[in-house]
Amino acid sequence: MDNTLTAVELADLMRRNAGIAVDPAAFADHPDTPFEEYGLDSLGLLGIVATLENQYGRPMPQDAERCKTPREFLDLVNNTLTKSGA
């Protein structure tokens, strides 16, 4: 099983947890665009982190909810997931 979070999955999490529709291609084209430009605030990101913790059965890094961009968030989460070997 692949234990990485994709841009498509992140976009789906944003839709489900924060009601924000984002084209995953936007993350690929502009991975350093701040979450705030998509309308995602720290509370919405906290909800995404909680969902991931439930999904993977392990805590995400405390810094995950402070990430400012999709690239930063995906890098941090995926580094955690691959190190843990879920």
Q: What pLDDT score was predicted for residue 1?
A: 45
Question: Which CATH number is associated with domain 7-84?
Answer: 1.10.1200.10
Q: What pLDDT score was predicted for residue 11?
A: 96
Q: What pLDDT score was predicted for residue 3?
A: 81
Domain boundaries, the chain: 7-84
Q: What pLDDT score was predicted for residue 84?
A: 62
pTM for the model stands at 0.90
**Arithmetic mean of pLDDT, 8-12:** 95
Report yes or no: 84 and 5 within 8 Å, Cβ to Cβ: no
In this predicted model, what pLDDT tens digit does every residue of 21-64 receive, in sequence order?
Answer: 999 999 889 999 999 999 999 999 999 999 999 999 999 988 89
